[in-house]
Amino acid sequence: MGLDVGLQTYSVRNSFQHDSIGTLEAIAEVGYKNLQLTRVTATAAGVTHVAGTMSAAALKQRLDGLGMRVVSLHAGVNEQTDWDRLLAFNHELGSSSIILPIAFYTDRASVLDYARTLNRYGEICRKQGVDFQYHNHFQEFQVVDGQTIMDLLLEHTDNDLVKFELDTYWAARGGVDPVAWLRKLGDRCDIVHQKDIPTTAQPRNWFDHFGHDTNITLQMMYETQQPEQFTEIGEGTMDIPALIATMRQTGVRYILVEQDASARSELESIRVSYQNIVKLLGAA
């Protein structure tokens, strides 16, 4: 199985607010075939997502007509999630994975408690033939009691229930080597998020800014979301060819472009990253 390019739709979240259909058409025109739908929530009131409240059937019809498909969902799952609705939505779109996009921790006990929660969510998904995955930011590479949070999550979640979607940018911003982490995760990682780190992103390690022993919060995460902290794939300092080579060795299926913020417009940003990643994949 080859390494396919896709788009995390968080990259064009503002464009979707103005024109959902036009944004889908613009994404297709760039060349993307595989999408990861974001901001998915499922409650008793229904399912919402980055493209609004469009039903799974209506969304899939649009995507089919544009030659695109949804390969996974970023869903804000919690104890209020209507799993029946979420899984039905996922199945109707043809997606194979549901991914929890973010979490925060206070100490080792909170990590171990959340690992149990992840296992429980993973069991719900497995019963329906769906992969459940966890997506990292930089806080998972904080060291607590001699281990990173990510190591604790990896150790205390069931291999058969929980996979990990590695965001290589956030791993690097957490002070670790994303290539080494791709190898460590191995077959528990088959989807990767990719963007790039500009020279203006100083300090590179966010713990050097916030403190290595600080409890990272959502408010702190908001502070990281500035255009000067991000750049398009191939425009920054990350060793993308080495990452691509490792992804191919470890069996990653999808490398998804995700741009949290950019000095460019959203649609121009995803175009530049697409063109660059296609060239890099061809050269690797």
d(CA 107, CA 261): 30
Per-residue pLDDT, 79? 94
Q: Residue 58, SS3?
A: helix
The whole-number pLDDT of residue 1 equals 62
Beta partners for 99? 74, 133
Hey, what are 30's tokens? 């760039």
Q: Which sign does the torsion angle of CA 157, 172, 136, 185 carry?
A: negative
d(CA 32, CA 282): 16
Residue 284, pLDDT above cutoff 80: no
Average pLDDT of the chain? 97
pLDDT tops 70 at residue 124: yes
Considering the entire predicted model, what is its pTM? 0.97
* Domain locations in the chain as residue ranges: 4-283
- List the CATH code of the domain at 4-283: 3.20.20.150
- Name residue 265's amino acid: S
Give all strands (DSSP E) within the chain, no chain letters: 4-8, 34-43, 46-48, 69-75, 97-100, 131-135, 143-144, 147-148, 163-167, 191-194, 254-257
Give pLDDT tens digits for 178-214.
999 999 999 999 999 999 999 999 999 999 999 999 9
| Mean per-residue pLDDT, 137-155 | 98
28-35 average pLDDT score: 98
Please give the average per-residue pLDDT across 263-279, as a whole number. 98
Task: Tell me if residue 234 falls in helix, strand or coil.
Answer: coil
What is the C-alpha separation between 243 and 165, in angstroms, rounded? 14
